[in-house]
Amino acid sequence: MTIIQAIILGIVEGVTEFLPISSTGHLILTSKLLGIPDSDFLKSFEIAIQFGAILAVVVLYFKKLVTNFKTWKKVLIAFLPTAVIGFLFYKIIKNIFLSSSLLVVWSLFLGGVILIFFELWNKKRESIILSIGEINNKKSFWIGVWQSISAIPGISRSGATIVGGMAMGISREAIVEFSFLLAVPTMAAATGYDLLKSASAFSFDQLHLLALGFVISFIVAILSIKWLINFIKNHTFISFGVYRIVASVLFYFLVIR
């Protein structure tokens, strides 16, 4: 991997992590487009730079994360299902799922179709939960169950949690913010566990690539989060569904065919 490739992947991660379009899927397919050889280092790099994007949430939501114990409790409850799934199926996720471009393309396509139909179905429903403070522990757990589906690359962690939350009557603004916060323990655990398991997969000379991807994803993610917060005030996620379908078709012909 070159420095330019690390920068590009950092930008892709920062832009896509919090949008319902799958950052992991985009990293896998972008790596293929850039001609980066599949390796344990690449897989660990793709996981590790996600923590840079998560640090952006910590910076932007520092006060809420530190001072609101009730919010933290709900976030940790939502984290549990994903933690269990990730621990039990770690080898399958990393060695099989993360190596399948075809799986990513299909997940992008089907996720886009589902997102469009969900928004059309949901547009006439009124939200009954307007803030994170109104989300109870039971709903927090089920949001976590929805998030665990994103163990399949291409599904989108944020997309799964947002759709699941809105289906339960949580407002768009509240579930998007909850998804931001839930990303902190989820990706911190994923990054830490993977680096613990795979530290030997890369050499000391490659650490600068990890650091570069981390910093780039952090900076870009801050801009992406601020943009998404403004976007959802007046828009649905249908445009993201359309994008997913178009991207899946393009990736299919550019990467797989």
Cα–Cα distance, 192 to 14 (Å, whole number): 19
Q: Are 41 and 202 in contact (CB under 8 A)?
A: yes
CB 212 within 8 A of CB 6: yes
The pTM of the whole model exceeds 0.85: no
pLDDT in tens, 28-79: 888 888 888 877 777 778 777 888 888 898 888 877 666 677 888 898 999 9
Among 159, 174, 170, smallest CA distance to 241 is for 159
| Residue-averaged pLDDT of the chain | 85
**Residue in this structure with the two tokens 């828009």, named with its chain if needed:** 235
Read off the pLDDT of residues 207-226 as tens digits, 9 standing for 90 and up. 788 889 989 999 999 999 99
Q: Work out the average pLDDT over 93-112.
A: 79
| Rounded Cα distance, 116 and 180, in Å | 22
Tell me the pLDDT tens digit for each residue of 139-178. Answer: 999 999 998 888 887 888 888 999 999 999 998 888 998 9
pLDDT for position 129: 86
Tokens for 47?
A: 């996981």
* Distance of alpha carbon 128 from the chain centroid: 26
**Cα–Cα distance measured from residue 66 to residue 105, given in angstroms and rounded to the nearest whole number:** 38
Give start and end residues of each alpha helix (H) in 96-198.
101-122, 137-148, 157-167, 172-198
Four-CA torsion 224, 44, 196, 210, nearest 10 degrees? -60
% of the chain exceeding 90 in pLDDT: 29
Hey, what's the torsion of the CAs at 36, 244, 230, 214, to 10 degrees? -20
